[in-house]
């Protein structure tokens, strides 16, 4: 690359912050590890706030009606000192802290997913006649959803006075509260200290992850099975936990302290220490590996069993089961990797002598732990692209982790996949519909429906054209690791990026994607015949496509309760293109994969009638804005299809079927998936869950679901 020594853009902006939260800076044993320097991707146009490309910090405190002065991170004194120094009393530092942690989280996602992340678009329900033609999803109900690009997530560091923090999908905002501490015991913490949730790395990373996940799958806030909301919580905790391990000083300190045994009590496996104590607990709010016994005040390891997954329903607690499964997988991979080091250090006995570990050994163990943690974090994030777009369960997630990993890394010599399978099994988490718990059966099968090959080949050529435009839009921008993937795949020396504005790259990607989905007549460029229309033209009435996707593409869609759409003057079943994404990933051996991930969603109206022991399932054509009841609801089906751009083939179709796939023999006899309909009906009628819904999501549909809180209040 052309290097200009005088004005080379720095890769990072260094910003000081807490590794955990302020409480650790007040304790003599942890004070020196808690102040760390976050390396945040450099943003040229960072405005006071900070307001950058991805986020916008707005420091208004409505409880006192006051705006705090926004920090200017480009101030030369601040720049020269790696940002403001950590301080509980300086609101400008609070702004810097939320910016640093949110951007760190975003960067981790972009690295794993191989693309820039986009926030969930704003959906606006409008009357058909007045809507602009370009942005709509068609239907016959007289209403249409119009979408609007969301450039920045808003972050309010002092949003309210309460012991909580939220992501609001409607406001596209993170809201952080503050409160006076109420410790269970004055020796743990000074009572009435002001606690700011916006100063906790874990809480910021957790809430940012909610927002990122909502941008990928907005239907994951639909509470359609006991795992859905729990998955949101668990995933947010997993990202916060494993991000800890990217801080080398903390890692070395904790490894020295635990003598390398990370399954004993340590800071790395814990979430929100200060918050946990301040609301009257005896330790961190959540821990992946253990807990403080409220009677004896002693730390105890958690012993996994299969009962919890059967009985616990509150989302954070249920999510903790998944978090501990992932953490245990991490621990067993780590122990495997350090076994030889321990043998060397102990002349073969494996038993460490009394006293402190040699600093060289600490460094080696820390380097292994950080490597494994990085891998596990990337595996967990990457798996997201291999999940169905609706109705996910923990078992589906396990399959996604295994498939995504096998896809990128063929040789699993370190047994990472087995470690995951084992720790999920210990908690009784099994995917539905597989015959054994082996890597082979957990991996989603590669598509072998050859009848559609030629059709998919045409479609994939179209998708390749799409990827070309996305890569072009993205290569205009040189910030972030994920984008480096594209740089590396071309001859670096031939790209001259000087003078190219990096503004609005993500907006360009959003616009190009929308054009490719709904089609567009363009001046100066060739017209795009949209993907939505192409799928109609190619697959309407194709029984193989129904079987592959589990969605109604046959001729009897209205009997199945699916609304009609008019495309090119003819009627067909309506469906949504939920998302269309390009992913460019690089494996550990440098192997590259370019894939298109396409998700489709379809809804059918279901009415369940019970009389005595008899249950009848009928279908009806739903209308937008329908108020769901316990007996009448929309069954949502969806499929995530992964296309390989090099072979032009459809590789995987990961489906939550709307129709009963076994029932398809020809064009007209597909039946609704009664099994899924009944499962959802039974779940909606479970009283325990309903009280949670009554509190948090009265309409059940995501348009009325408002917040993801850090803590659930009863």
Binding stretches for Zn ion (CB under 5 A) = 233, 236, 708
Question: Least distance (Å) from Zn ion to the CB of residue 451?
Answer: 44
Looking at the Cβ atoms of 397 and 416, the one nearer to Zn ion is 397
Looking at the Cβ atoms of 196 and 708, the one nearer to Zn ion is 708
Contact 143/127 with Cβ under 8 angstroms? Answer: yes
Question: Least distance (Å) from Zn ion to the CB of residue 309?
Answer: 19
Looking at the Cβ atoms of 225 and 599, the one nearer to Zn ion is 225
Question: Least distance (Å) from Zn ion to the CB of residue 109?
Answer: 16
Looking at the Cβ atoms of 242 and 652, the one nearer to Zn ion is 242
Cβ-Cβ contacts under 8 Å for 216 (sequence gap 6 or more): 117, 384, 579
Question: Least distance (Å) from Zn ion to the CB of residue 701?
Answer: 20
Helix (H, G, I), strand (E, B) or coil at 224: coil
Contact 331/373 with Cβ under 8 angstroms? Answer: no
Task: State the Cα–Cα distance between residues 620 and 180, nearest whole angstrom.
Answer: 52
Question: Least distance (Å) from Zn ion to the CB of residue 316?
Answer: 7
Per-residue DSSP letters for 341-373? HHHHHTTTS-PPPSSPPPHHHHHHHHHHHHHHH
Question: Least distance (Å) from Zn ion to the CB of residue 487?
Answer: 35
Question: Least distance (Å) from Zn ion to the CB of residue 232?
Answer: 7
For CA atoms 125, 128, 134, 140, the dihedral sign is: positive
Per-residue CA distances from 332 to 416, 424, 437 (Å): 9, 13, 18
Question: Least distance (Å) from Zn ion to the CB of residue 246?
Answer: 21
Cβ-Cβ contacts under 8 Å for 269 (sequence gap 6 or more): 241, 262, 287, 288, 289, 290, 327
Question: Least distance (Å) from Zn ion to the CB of residue 485?
Answer: 30
Question: Least distance (Å) from Zn ion to the CB of residue 386?
Answer: 23
Looking at the Cβ atoms of 196 and 681, the one nearer to Zn ion is 196
Contact 241/327 with Cβ under 8 angstroms? Answer: yes
Cβ-Cβ contacts under 8 Å for 250 (sequence gap 6 or more): 19, 20, 33, 34, 36, 244, 267, 268
Contact 237/200 with Cβ under 8 angstroms? Answer: no
Q: Count the Cβ atoms, other than its own, within 10 Å of residue 228.
A: 20
Task: State the Cα–Cα distance between residues 527 and 542, nearest whole angstrom.
Answer: 27
Q: Which helix (H) or strand (E) holds 174?
A: strand 173-180
Cβ-Cβ contacts under 8 Å for 16 (sequence gap 6 or more): 35, 36, 37, 38, 81, 82, 83, 84, 85, 86, 96
Residue with tokens 């301040």: 278
Tell me the β-bridge partners of 57. Answer: 155
Instruction: Read off the DSSP letter of residue 219.
Output: G
Contact 616/145 with Cβ under 8 angstroms? Answer: no
Locate 31 and state its tokens: 């004070």
Question: Least distance (Å) from Zn ion to the CB of residue 211?
Answer: 11
Instruction: Read off the DSSP letter of residue 195.
Output: E
Per-residue CA distances from 600 to 202, 386, 424, 507, 577 (Å): 33, 13, 29, 22, 5
Question: Least distance (Å) from Zn ion to the CB of residue 319?
Answer: 8
308-324 burial, b for 16+ CB within 10 Å, e for fewer?
A: bbeebebbbebbbbbbb
Per-residue DSSP letters for 627-687? ---SSEEEEEEEEEEEEETTTTEEEEEEEE-SEEGGG-SSSS--EE-HHHHHHHHHHHT-H
End-to-end distance of the chain based on CA atoms, in angstroms?
Answer: 57
Looking at the Cβ atoms of 233 and 368, the one nearer to Zn ion is 233
Looking at the Cβ atoms of 106 and 560, the one nearer to Zn ion is 106
Looking at the Cβ atoms of 240 and 404, the one nearer to Zn ion is 240
Looking at the Cβ atoms of 101 and 236, the one nearer to Zn ion is 236
Looking at the Cβ atoms of 205 and 654, the one nearer to Zn ion is 205
Looking at the Cβ atoms of 466 and 696, the one nearer to Zn ion is 696
Question: Least distance (Å) from Zn ion to the CB of residue 234?
Answer: 9
Per-residue DSSP letters for 239-271? HHHHHHTT-HHHHHHHHHHHTT-TTSS-GGGEE
Question: Least distance (Å) from Zn ion to the CB of residue 405?
Answer: 26
Looking at the Cβ atoms of 233 and 391, the one nearer to Zn ion is 233
Q: Which helix (H) or strand (E) holds 333?
A: helix 315-345
Looking at the Cβ atoms of 227 and 233, the one nearer to Zn ion is 233
Question: Least distance (Å) from Zn ion to the CB of residue 467?
Answer: 33
Looking at the Cβ atoms of 205 and 443, the one nearer to Zn ion is 205
Looking at the Cβ atoms of 58 and 229, the one nearer to Zn ion is 229
Contact 677/660 with Cβ under 8 angstroms? Answer: no
Q: Which helix (H) or strand (E) holds 40?
A: strand 35-41
Question: Least distance (Å) from Zn ion to the CB of residue 210?
Answer: 6
Looking at the Cβ atoms of 240 and 373, the one nearer to Zn ion is 240
């Amino acid at each position: 690359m052309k290097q200009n020594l005088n004005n080379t853009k720095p890769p990072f902006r260094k910003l000081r912050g807490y590794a955990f939260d302020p409480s650790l800076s007040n304790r003599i044993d942890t004070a020196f590890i808690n102040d760390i320097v976050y390396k945040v991707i450099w943003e040229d146009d960072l405005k006071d706030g900070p307001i950058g490309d991805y986020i916008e910090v707005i420091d208004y405190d409505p409880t006192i009606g006051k705006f705090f002065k926004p920090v200017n991170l480009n101030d030369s004194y601040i720049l020269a000192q790696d940002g403001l120094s950590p301080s509980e009393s300086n609101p400008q530092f609070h702004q810097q802290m939320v910016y640093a942690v949110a951007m760190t989280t975003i960067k981790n996602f972009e690295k794993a997913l191989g693309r820039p992340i986009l926030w969930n678009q704003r959906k606006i329900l409008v009357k058909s006649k007045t809507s602009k033609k370009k942005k709509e999803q068609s239907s016959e109900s007289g209403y249409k959803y119009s979408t609007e690009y969301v450039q920045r997530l808003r972050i309010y560091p002092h949003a309210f006075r309460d012991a909580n923090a939220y992501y609001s999908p409607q406001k596209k905002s993170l809201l952080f509260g503050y409160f006076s501490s109420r410790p269970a015991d004055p020796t743990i913490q000074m009572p009435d200290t002001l606690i700011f949730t916006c100063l906790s790395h874990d809480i910021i990373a957790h809430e940012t992850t909610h927002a990122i996940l909502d941008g990928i799958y907005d239907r994951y806030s639909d509470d359609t099975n006991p795992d859905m909301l729990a998955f949101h919580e668990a995933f947010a905790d997993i990202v916060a936990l494993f991000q800890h391990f990217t801080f080398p000083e903390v890692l070395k300190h904790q490894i020295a302290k635990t003598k390398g045994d990370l399954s004993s009590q340590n800071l790395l496996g814990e979430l929100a220490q200060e918050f946990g104590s301040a609301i009257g607990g005896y330790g961190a709010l959540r821990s992946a590996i253990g807990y403080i016994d409220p009677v004896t005040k002693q730390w105890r390891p958690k012993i996994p069993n299969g009962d919890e997954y059967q009985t616990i329903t509150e989302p954070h607690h249920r999510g903790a089961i998944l978090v501990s499964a992932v953490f245990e997988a991490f621990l067993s991979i780590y122990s495997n990797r350090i076994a030889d080091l321990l043998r060397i250090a102990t002349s073969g006995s494996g038993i460490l002598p009394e006293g402190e570990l040699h600093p060289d050994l600490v460094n080696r163990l820390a380097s292994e732990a950080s490597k494994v943690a990085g891998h596990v974090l990337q595996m967990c994030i990457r798996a997201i692209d291999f999940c169905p777009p609706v109705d996910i369960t923990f078992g589906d997630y396990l399959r996604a982790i295994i498939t995504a990993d096998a896809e990128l890394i063929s040789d699993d010599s370190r047994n990472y996949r087995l470690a995951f399978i084992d720790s999920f099994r210990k908690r009784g988490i099994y995917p539905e519909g597989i015959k054994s718990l082996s890597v082979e059966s957990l991996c989603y099968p590669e598509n072998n429906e050859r009848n559609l090959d030629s059709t998919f080949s045409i479609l994939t050529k179209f998708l390749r054209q799409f990827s070309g435009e996305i890569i072009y839009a993205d290569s205009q921008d040189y910030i972030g690791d994920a984008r480096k993937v594209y740089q590396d795949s071309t001859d670096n020396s031939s790209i001259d990026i000087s003078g190219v504005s990096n503004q609005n790259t993500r907006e360009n990607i959003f616009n190009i994607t929308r054009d490719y989905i709904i089609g567009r007549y363009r001046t100066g460029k060739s017209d795009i015949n949209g993907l939505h229309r192409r799928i109609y033209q190619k697959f309407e009435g194709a029984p193989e496509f129904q079987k592959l996707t589990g969605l109604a593409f046959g001729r009897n869609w209205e009997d199945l309760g699916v609304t009609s759409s008019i495309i090119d003057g003819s009627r067909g079943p309506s469906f949504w293109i939920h998302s269309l994404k390009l992913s460019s990933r690089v494996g550990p051996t440098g192997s590259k994969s370019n894939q298109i991930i396409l998700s489709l969603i379809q809804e059918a109206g279901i009415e369940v009638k019970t009389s005595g022991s008899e249950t009848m399932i009928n279908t009806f054509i739903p209308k937008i804005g329908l108020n769901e009841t316990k007996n009448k609801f929309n069954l949502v089906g969806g499929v995530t299809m992964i296309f390989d751009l090099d072979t032009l083939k459809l590789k995987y179709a990961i489906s939550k079927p709307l129709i009963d796939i076994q029932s398809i023999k020809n064009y007209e006899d597909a039946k609704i998936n009664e099994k899924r309909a009944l499962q959802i009906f039974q779940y909606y009628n479970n009283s325990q869950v309903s009280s949670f819904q009554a509190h948090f999501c009265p309409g059940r549909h995501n348009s009325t679901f408002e917040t993801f809180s850090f803590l659930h209040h009863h």
